[in-house]
Amino acid sequence: SRVADELAGALSGNEFHLVFQPLVDLKSGKVTAAETLLRWHNRYLGVVSPEQFVPLAEELGLIRPIGEWLLTAACREAQKWQSFGLGDIGVAVNISPRQFQQGDILTIIERALSETELAPRLLTIEITEGLLLANSEEVINKLDRIRALGVTLSVDDFGTGYSSLSYLKTLPVDVLKIDRSFVADMLENLDDATLVDAIIAMGHSMHLEVVAEGVETEAQLAYLTENGCDSGQGYYFSPPLNPTRFRDFVIERS
């Protein structure tokens, strides 16, 4: 396809760039980290969503070089935040299940950290709940080894897997990100509110940090703050920003 042809040349053509969406500590209102989101702008296709091109990149065997580039670029940017004196601002990178299952994800993470000299504690790897549900020994082994580097592990879109929350006890993760669909509906739908409360309580009882994604309104922020959620991310605070605007946002908020 045309998209596949263009995708094959996108990395060497410098067509990818990164945007950063702030994660805000709900107690202090300060930015603690950013989620890195990949953007592809192609001269013929325009802006293509990662929802479209990530699966295609996986099929075409392109996700490995793209992922390696992205991880290094994200760590390099976070190292800049350090050298500019913005404080300890972490950076989170999404790793798809297919990417995670590739043989050398650990090596790629290690290499990105050593090349950029970013402190491992400032890097978070976001995996999806689906990956954990497989509950395979190989996956858990890899998670353990990534965590042993000092890297933080976060479970993205949490709550969508319809799993028992108790399975988390056995997993080496540090952060739960409540899926934005629950946040969107929690003020109108009691089931969603109950689930959000349960995730916060359960997460805290296991000493996990709980992040709400898709925070869009002040009322949602108030509910989450009252109910002890640790951090928030969403359009209420900021959309994903280019690197310059992200730095300005951190400075304005500090």
Confirm or reject binding of residue 234 to ligand G (CB under 6 A).
yes
- 29 vs 84, which CB is nearer to ligand G? 29
**Distance (Å, rounded) from C-alpha 67 to C-alpha 71?**
6
Chain centroid offset of residue 99 CA: 14
Is-contact 249 220, C-beta < 8 A? no
Is-contact 230 26, C-beta < 8 A? yes
From the CB of 184, what's the least distance to ligand G, in Å? 7
91 has which bridge partners? 34, 123
Q: Residue 234 binds which entry of Na ion, ligand G, Mn ion, none, with Cβ cut-offs from 5 to 8 Å by kind?
A: ligand G
From the CB of 248, what's the least distance to Na ion, in Å? 25
Task: Tell the residue number behind the tokens 């991310």, with chain if given.
Answer: 233
Confirm or reject binding of residue 235 to ligand G (CB under 6 A).
yes
- 53 vs 182, which CB is nearer to Na ion? 182
Binding residues vs Na ion (CB under 5 A): 156-157
Going by C-alpha positions, the residue among 54, 155, 70 that lies closest to residue 112 is 70
Q: Residue 37 binds which entry of ligand G, Mn ion, Na ion, none, with Cβ cut-offs from 5 to 8 Å by kind?
A: ligand G
Task: Tell the residue number behind the tokens 């969406």, with chain if given.
Answer: 21
User: Nearest residue to Mn ion, using CB?
Assistant: 156
Confirm or reject binding of residue 214 to ligand G (CB under 6 A).
yes
Is-contact 182 198, C-beta < 8 A? no
Q: Which helix (H) or strand (E) holds 129?
A: helix 129-133
Binding residues vs Mn ion (CB under 5 A): 94, 126, 156
Confirm or reject binding of residue 26 to ligand G (CB under 6 A).
no
- 6 vs 157, which CB is nearer to Na ion? 157
**Distance (Å, rounded) from C-alpha 90 to C-alpha 247?**
13
- Cα dist from 220 to 25, 60, 87, 157, whole Å: 14, 40, 27, 17
User: Could you tell me which stretch among 116-124, 140-148, 164-172, 214-222 binds ligand G (CB under 6 A)?
Assistant: 214-222
Q: Which helix (H) or strand (E) holds 23?
A: strand 16-25
- 6 vs 67, which CB is nearer to ligand G? 67
Confirm or reject binding of residue 199 to ligand G (CB under 6 A).
no
Candidate list 31, 33, 38, 108; residue touching ligand G; CB under 6 A: 38
Q: Which residues are near ligand G by CB under 6 A?
A: 21, 37-38, 49-51, 54, 70, 94, 96, 156-157, 180, 213-216, 234-235, 240
